[in-house]
Amino acid sequence: MPTGHGALTVRIDPWADSDRALLDELLGTYEMTAHLGGPENSQWLDERHARYRREGSRQYKVLVETVENGVGWVGYWEREWRGEQVWETGWAVIPAMQGRGMASAAMRLLLGVIASEPVSRPVHAFPSVDNGASNALCRKVGFTLLDAADFEYPPGHVMRCNDWRLDPAGG
């Protein structure tokens, strides 16, 4: 289901075989991964691309009509967090399209997909405490800031993240 943002319509489509170049742009550059411990190497990107392409992966390409190959990614996956089964979510938008509300539009679409899951569970996002844009996005789409926690990501790199929570059932 597309959503309008200004003059552009944002939609999300399942990740496809043809989306490897977009993944390189999203996670293979320092500019895009400064808050994630740096770019992923080619092997990690190949493995991630294979996971994203799997049927039922819950990973989506962010599209607008003016950019043929996509402008970003949103996705969610199961995670145990503090003794509770939750959905963890993440997102990224290429630098040329940042600051235009596309990530928040795509996240709203993704939250609609999550709300349609047969099992309702809280949604968590864990952006770096230093990532002002991602923390602002969490606030904008309705997440509640709980606290901060340390994560090892990528392996060998500890990062301090905010724990944002949203209940898609509204309760």
For residue 56, give the CATH number of its domain.
3.40.630.30
**For residue 161, is pLDDT > 50?**
yes
Higher pLDDT among residues 45 and 107, named by residue: 107
When pLDDT is averaged across residues 26-48 and rounded to a whole number, the result is: 80
Assigned domain for 161 exists = no
Residue 78: C-alpha distances to residues 46, 81, 109, 142 (Å): 21, 10, 18, 20
Assigned domain for 165 exists = no
Assigned domain for 147 exists = no
Which residue has tokens 């400064």?
Answer: 34
When pLDDT is averaged across residues 116-121 and rounded to a whole number, the result is: 93
When the pLDDT of each residue in the chain is averaged and rounded to a whole number, the result is 89
**For residue 154, is pLDDT > 90?**
no
166 — pLDDT class (breaks 50, 70, 90): very high
When pLDDT is averaged across residues 50-78 and rounded to a whole number, the result is: 92
Q: Which domain holds residue 85?
A: 3-122
Assigned domain for 163 exists = no
CB 87 within 8 A of CB 121: yes
The 10 Å CB-count burial string (b at 16+, else e) for 85-111 is ebbbbbbbbbeebeebbbbbbbbbbbb
Query: Closest Cα to residue 85, out of 76, 93, 98?
Result: 76
Structurally, the chain folds into a number of domains equal to 1
Q: What is the pTM of this model?
A: 0.88
Assigned domain for 67 exists = yes
Assigned domain for 139 exists = no
Give the pLDDT confidence score for residue 169 in this predicted structure.
Answer: 67
Assigned domain for 112 exists = yes
Assigned domain for 57 exists = yes
